[in-house]
Structure 1
Amino acid sequence: MSTPERLIEATRDLLWERGYVGTSPKAIQRRAGAGQGSMYHHFAGKPDLALAAIRRTADEMRATAEAVLGGDGSAYERIAAYLLRERDVLRGCPVGRLTMDPDIITDDALRAPVDETLDWLRGRLALIVEEGLARGEFSAYLVPAEIAAAIVATVQGGYVLARASGSPAAFDTAVRGLLALLAFATISVSV
């Protein structure tokens, strides 16, 4: 792995573990096995490196979500696959956790990839719900943007509840509850 790649990956890990303030240039260099000169040769400073790391994390999250959401199956099946996919629940969402970091949220450049990714996810989920409505899979009373927001809120809130309790059970319960509500919306169509 090249030095810039090692620096980006080290920053990604540290942002997830410690947040922006806890991610010092010295900690990045130590984790990446790179010197100060290398870091500042490739990046203008910590904000520049953090932005590259956040963008990489956001791109990875989109690719992971799209791999499931773009798969085969009904709208419900694709949403269920997204909700039930393998996650490190107790570690939390690497993008969602950034929303809790005041130094990232108050910086327009650092916040932009976070906003864009969550907007993309809500939009992608809304399109799937729209597809389900068009195919008659869901009851017509569903509003795609609202269902998409509820899905994202369930996942992000599930992470928070799981971390607070120290158990993935809270996440799993939230996901099962949402899937039951969506299943009811599909059953209502045939009744």
Structure 2
Amino acid sequence: MYSGGMSTSERLIESAQELLWERGYVGTSPKAILERAGAGQGSMYHHFKGKPDLALAAIRRTAEEMRGAAEAVLGGPGTPYERVRAYLLRERDVLRGCPVGRLTMDPDVIASEELRAPVDETLAWLHARLAGIVQEGKDQGQFGPALVPEEIAATVVATVQGGYVLARASGSTAAFDAGVRGLLTLLAPEER
């Protein structure tokens, strides 16, 4: 499953990332991580203090990857509207849900300040980044003066995260796609 050049600790982190996304914290056993990583029984404890330490490394990596993917479109070319549109329309595995957002539904992650911190930081970063882009659009006259950047950013995040939930519940991407289309219609600059 993994290339020969990947270190054992990297395989463990990647395996934990995948399993946390699929099964959540409780459903991710050390045995499952080791099996998926193709690592020996003592490997996890050689590289990490235990499951919580490995989970934290995996959650941090997932959060970092999500921020990188979001920044690739939010910091890309185009007007503020085009960049928000690119973020909303970027390729996602909608039926799997958001690997960071799904962690907010895991009671063990939420109960642990340490495990929850990368999730909170990532969602706060996304909110602030989107609010800045909306403010930029207002400053350029692209978005109306009545729009409140923080509220629009919250709406974008809620549309994406809620869209994941609705898509997973129905087994179809239709609800996600409809929410995104509706939000884009509301945000679209008026023709002058």
Instruction: Give the alignment's TM-score, normalised by structure 2.
Output: 0.96
Q: Structure 2: how far apart are the matches of 1:151 and 1:144?
A: 10
Alignment of 1:128-167 (within 5 A): 128-167=133-172
Calculate percent identity across the aligned residue pairs: 76
* Runs of 4+ deviating beyond 6 Å: none
Q: Structure 2: how far apart are the matches of 1:179 and 1:102?
A: 33
Q: Structure 2: how far apart are the matches of 1:22 and 1:68?
A: 33
Cα deviation, 1:125-180, whole Å, max 9, x if unaligned, reads: 00000100111111000000000000000000000000000000110000000000
> Which residue type is aligned with residue 85 of structure 1?
R
> Which residue type is aligned with residue 101 of structure 1?
D
Q: Structure 1: how far apart are the matches of 2:22 and 2:40?
A: 21
Q: How far is 1:8 from its partner?
A: 0.2
Q: Structure 1: how far apart are the matches of 2:112 and 2:147?
A: 35
Q: Which residue matches 2:37?
A: 32
Alignment of 1:13-28 (within 5 A): 13-28=18-33
Q: Which residue matches 1:73?
A: 78
Pairing 1:123–2:124 present: no
Q: Which residue matches 1:64?
A: 69
Q: Structure 2: how far apart are the matches of 1:121 and 1:100?
A: 18
Q: Structure 2: how far apart are the matches of 1:138 and 1:77?
A: 12
What stretches of structure 2 of length at least 5 have no aligned partner? 1-5
1:101 to 106, 125, 147: 106
What stretches of structure 1 of length at least 5 have no aligned partner? none
Number of aligned positions between the proteins: 187
Instruction: Give the alignment's TM-score, normalised by structure 1.
Output: 0.97
Q: How far is 1:37 from its partner?
A: 1.4
